[in-house]
Copies of this chain bind each other. A is one copy, B any other.
Amino acid sequence: MGRPSQQEGRPLGEPPAQARGRVVIDSVMPSVECGAFPAKRVVGDQVVVTADLLIDGHDLIDGVVRFRRGRGGPFHEVPLEPLGNDQFSASFPVDAPGVWQFTLEAWLDEWASHGWGLGRKAKAGKDVSLELLGAAGLLEAAAERATREPTAHGVLRDAAKALRSTAPQAERVAIALASPLREVVRRWADTSAATRLEAPREVMVDPVRALRSSWYEVFPRSLGEGGRHGTFKDVERHLAYVAELGCDTLYLPPIHPIGRTHRKGPNNTLTAGPDDVGSPWAIGAAEGGHKAVHPQLGTLEDFRRLVEQARARGIEVAMDIAFQASPDHPYVKAHPEWFVHRADGSIQYAENPPKQYQDVYPFDFASKDWKALWAELASVFLFWAEQGVRVFRVDNPHTKPLTFWRWCLAEVKERYPDAIFLAEAFTRPRLLQGLAKAGFSQSYTYFTWRTTKQELTEYLSGLVAAPLSEYLRPNLWPNTPDILPEHLQFGTRATFVSRLVMAATLSASYGIYGPTYELMQRQAREGAEEYLDNEKFQLRAWNLDDPTSLRYLIARVNEVRRAEPALWRNEGLTFHSIANEQLLAYSKTSADQRSAVLCVVNLDPHHTQGGWLELDLAALGVGADEPFQAHDALSGQRFLWRGRRSYVELDPREVPAHLFTLRRKRRSEKTFEYFL
């Protein structure tokens, strides 16, 4: 035995007043780090709130979820319903983008608890006269609280009187247990000892596009005809092509004036000739900086027109926001204090020691003048939002402080709640997650390098499950201008097809960098994971009508994405067993299981692979003995299957993947019909 503490003789501490409330609220969902960050949802969602509501003994609980759009104004109320096992739930619709708040309140339901005992005793034939009088007392107390609602007051008083009457006990029991009375008492329950969440939880509601989008990245300057520098007008002409592909987000690398000092030449060489176009990410020149347009692309007016024309086709223009400056950026002269200075007074250029990038100056986010810098950078988003842009792809956000993003994105979203931000970060996993928590709507992922069955299964299973799925929305890219992964360099046409099918079906958002992708460009700069003659440093011309192009296949895949609600969300992903390490099988189903897509992908680009599929039929919403049809959207083949086992074989020289939509067979009066 230790010695008693010196506190031993101290008088007892007073229990906190709220301790009288007998309900404890625990494990509230949705929740990111217990409310430190908002959970993410999209417009049209039902936010399903669940919580453990604990009370001692057998007593019953009543409670509500309160919710509101924004952080001010009145809360709306929705009753909590028991799910069993002390879990309760209520849901509310979110019909507009922006911050929403919810909170919970729960209390002992005295009336229901009393009624529960009364009912059991009455059923067992016990005398319940005292219990009926107790019930009358509860009704009288409720009537007291209900004086300002005369109808309710009357109902409660009358019922109390009836319970105190000399009517037969069975009659009075029936009165006490009647549902309509229960509803009136519920409205006037004693909630003075209710337990509440300490602070409301927040949900960030984004436009649907934040969850579900098909991105297509293109360099405007490569769209000129006959080797000419492309313009916004060329991009406008290109919209029909993008629409035909079925992509809904057209992402343009930076469109600002490009610096001349230390401009990079083709293939990232250090000396550029006079005609070399430079990297669009070396932002800023005499013509302006982050709020200006590169003169060779056109005017601000042209750009605004492009945004509108695209939107008319259902395509959003995504703008690249890269917070860094070329040595010629107007900021450098106007705000030298926004940059790090070296010991000789020169400005520190970007480095990844020992590599040096003399054409790019990073900002100093902790500079003495940091507040002015942060405000200016936030104003860049606002400027382009004013021009109509709602989708931003942010370059290298992981080299800027998380605290900056948390502040900046919130400021922009407060003004443009329908703005979307994609974080281009392939950085360390926890930092990538930190950016999503800080407010990015979508995130690039490591899918780009996940190639084996085990890697893909583990990585995607993690991405679509809580806690990640509450705040991180994956956007899968098979390639980017910076990344031509090894498996594309050394694969075959089948590699391009299978990576596309997986990106487009494993996640509700995906993107490709084209036309390199559909034209299956695969030649890398020697020893690098990067394209030879990369558009980042030079103009390229593409033959979009090349007969080997994947454009029609991409269009078909996007068509399935649009038609099948199963592919509109990240939940509902199931991996199915297939006894071949080169075959990956997975399905997505919609919440109501009326849409189900099953993919089988041959990961081997060289050889035919076959194997017995063992479907998790329950995940597909198909009964164990129910026949169902698997319709391959790529080959057009239809299979009629029944039971979990089916043999599948894929020849990569034909199509390396099955993209099945599933239809259950329904017996109608006259015939069999397939339905979604």
Contacts and interface: CB of A to CB of B under 8 A. Distances in A.
A35 B388 CA distance: 43
B124 A56 contact: no
A601 to B, nearest CB: 29
A618 interface: no
A275 interface: no
A668 interface: no
Give the dominant DSSP class at A's interface.
mixed
A58 B55 CA distance: 50
Interface in A4-26: 4-5, 7-8, 10, 12-16, 18-22, 24, 26
Interface stretch (A255-263, A427-435, A558-566): A427-435
Contacts of A428: 85-86
A545 interface: no
Interface stretch (A408-416, A477-485, A520-528): A408-416
A124 to B, nearest CB: 4
A183 B377 CA distance: 37
A56 B133 contact: no
Which of the listed residues A120, A311, A430 has the most CB atoms from chain B within 10 Å of its own CB?
A430
B58 A352 contact: yes
A57 B398 contact: yes
A333 interface: no
Contact of A24 (B14, B418, B434): B434
A429 B54 CA distance: 10
Contacts of A629: none
Contacts of A207: 2
A137 interface: yes
Nearest to A434: B54
Nearest to A308: B1
Contact of A33 (B13, B26, B430): B26
Interface string A533-569: 0000000000000000000000000000000000000
B343 A134 contact: yes
B86 A431 contact: yes
A634 interface: no
A14 B398 CA distance: 22
A511 B149 CA distance: 58
A120 B1 contact: no
Contact of A416 (B4, B126, B390): B4
A415 B366 contact: no
A2 B56 contact: no
A414 B351 contact: no
B429 A85 contact: yes
The 4 closest A-B pairs by CB, nearest first: A133-B343, A34-B34, A124-B354, A120-B353
Given A18-B403, A20-B403, 19 more contacts: A1-B388, A2-B207, A8-B416, A12-B378, A12-B379, A19-B403, A21-B403, A22-B402, A24-B402, A27-B430, A54-B431, A54-B434, A56-B365, A56-B399, A57-B399, A120-B354, A130-B342, A131-B343, A133-B342
18 contacts: A1-B418, A5-B415, A10-B415, A13-B407, A13-B411, A19-B407, A20-B403, A22-B401, A24-B434, A34-B34, A34-B36, A54-B430, A56-B365, A56-B400, A86-B431, A120-B354, A126-B354, A133-B343
